[in-house]
């Protein structure tokens, strides 16, 4: 404790008192040039100022550098995302070409035509085939900026409660499937039985692609049944509760005709040699 007390009480450099005492008792020290001690003290003060100013400018520089780096990284992310999208478009086109070539090759005889039909059925079930038809469009959105919950706490903006999370999307997709959806896409990404809806940090990933809200989920099926069963089912009730509690946006609209893209083709997982099939 004495160390702390000492630190609190004797804050003035003891050198001052010592020098004063020595000056008082001993003979006056040899007189120095009158201007000199002013100069040394002045120089020391300038030095202190330079050190302070340098430290300030240093911190500022470092801040600028870090914000610069962040904008660079953000630009890089945007560039790569655009690249991914254009590659996905390209893959889509190539898939269409493959499908056309397949149809041309198989359309020649009866066996080929039956194979085409079977391929179509399988493509429909697996989600690799682009489809068109009536259905519903469900929009899930984050709580708007500054939205306020019934208890008065802020829900929008940075609050995690006001954000659509991966399990909400999973819930919605499962609800749509349970209501009889034949094909589902999220923000233009077609879902298959193997598509993952996950989150990384605060972002939602569908098929390992980064999505940003609002999330537009399109489901093809009987629109009446889809809407009714979704809204009446547990999923719809849950989402409606979230709308009230957290201010999430949840909207269901019918669409008489929409088209969903095919899912990206998966790796071949199993194959049978031709002679085993017969």
Partner 1 sequence: MIPALALVVGVVLGLVLEPTVPGALQPYLPIAVVAALDAVFGAVRAQLEGIFDDRVFVVSFVSNVLVAGLVVFLGDQLGVGGQLSTGVVVVLGIRIFSNAAAIRRRVFHA
| Bond into 214 cis (ω within 30) | yes
Asked if 61 interacts with partner 1 (CB under 8 A), we say: yes
Task: Give the ranges where the chain is alpha helix by DSSP (H).
Answer: 2-9, 14-25, 36-106, 110-126, 166-178, 223-232, 234-246, 274-277
Q: 């990933």: which residue's tokens?
A: 205
Whether the Cβ atoms of residue 228 and residue 156 lie closer than 8 Å to each other: no
Instruction: Pick out residues in 83-112 that bind partner 1 (CB under 8 A).
Output: none
Segment 8 to 37, residues that bind partner 1, using CB under 8 A: 8-9, 11-13, 15-17, 19-20, 37
Q: Which residues 6+ apart lie within 8 Å of 139 measured at CB?
A: 214, 215, 216, 217, 249, 250, 251, 253
Q: Which of 53, 107, 144, 157 binds partner 1 (CB under 8 A)?
A: 53
**Min dist. Cβ of residue 48 to partner 1 (A):** 4
Between 14 and 276, CB nearer to partner 1: 14
Q: Which of 40, 71, 270, 278 binds partner 1 (CB under 8 A)?
A: 40
Residues 6+ apart with CB under 8 A from 99: 129
Residue 49 binds to partner 1 (criterion: CB under 8 A): yes
Angstrom distance (rounded) from CA 101 to CA 119? 13
Using the rule CB under 8 A, which residue among 6, 51, 87, 94 binds partner 1?
51
Cα 166 from Cα 103, distance rounded (Å): 38
Interface with partner 1 includes 57 (CB under 8 A)? yes
Return the residue of 1, 5, 7, 30 that touches partner 1, per CB under 8 A. Answer: 7
Q: Which is nearer to partner 1, 43 or 210 (CB)?
A: 43
Q: Is the dihedral of CA 85, 90, 92, 95 positive or negative?
A: negative
Provide the minimum distance between the beta carbon of 67 and partner 1 in the complex, in angstroms, as a whole number: 18
42 is an interface residue for partner 1 by CB under 8 A: yes
Measured at the CA of 207, the angle between CA 202 and CA 209, to 5 degrees, comes to 55
Q: Does 212 bind partner 1 (CB under 8 A)?
A: no
- Measured from the CB of residue 255, what is the shortest distance to partner 1 in angstroms? 58
Candidate segments 3-11, 127-135, 212-220, 239-247, binder of partner 1 by CB under 8 A: 3-11
From 38-46, 155-163, 169-177, 213-221, span contacting partner 1 (CB under 8 A): 38-46
DSSP 3-state of 53 = helix
Binds partner 1 by CB under 8 A, chosen from 41, 73, 75, 200: 41
Q: Which of 6, 50, 97, 232 touches partner 1 by CB under 8 A?
A: 50
* Torsion 85-88-94-97 (CA) sign: negative
Residues lying near partner 1 in the complex (CB under 8 A) are found at 7-9, 11-13, 15-17, 19-20, 37-38, 40-59, 61
């Amino acid at each position: 404790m004495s160390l702390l007390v000492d630190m609190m009480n004797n804050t003035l450099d003891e050198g001052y008192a010592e020098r004063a005492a020595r000056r008082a008792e001993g003979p006056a020290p040899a007189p120095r040039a009158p201007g000199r001690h002013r100069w040394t003290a002045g120089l020391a003060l300038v030095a202190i100022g330079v050190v302070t100013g340098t430290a300030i400018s240093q911190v500022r520089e470092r801040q600028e550098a870090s914000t610069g780096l962040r904008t660079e990284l953000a630009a890089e992310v945007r560039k790569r995302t655009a690249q991914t999208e254009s590659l996905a478009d390209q893959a889509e086109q190539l898939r269409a070409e493959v499908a056309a070539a397949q149809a041309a090759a198989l359309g020649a005889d009866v066996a080929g035509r039956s194979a085409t039909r079977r391929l179509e059925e399988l493509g429909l079930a697996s989600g690799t085939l682009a489809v068109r038809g009536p259905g519903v469009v469900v929009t899930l959105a984050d709580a708007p900026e500054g939205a306020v919950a019934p208890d008065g706490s802020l829900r929008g903006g940075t609050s995690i409660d006001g954000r659509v999370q991966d399990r909400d999307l999973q819930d919605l997709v499962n609800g749509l499937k349970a209501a009889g959806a034949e094909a589902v896409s999220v923000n233009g990404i077609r879902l298959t039985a193997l598509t993952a809806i996950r989150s990384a940090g605060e972002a939602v990933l569908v098929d390992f692609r980064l999505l940003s809200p609002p999330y537009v989920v399109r489901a093809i099926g009987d629109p009446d049944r889809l809407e009714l069963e979704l809204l009446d089912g547990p999923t719809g009730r849950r989402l409606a509760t979230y709308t009230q509690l957290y201010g999430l946006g949840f909207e269901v609209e019918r669409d008489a005709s929409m088209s969903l893209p095919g899912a990206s083709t998966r790796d071949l997982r199993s194959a049978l040699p031709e002679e085993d099939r017969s």
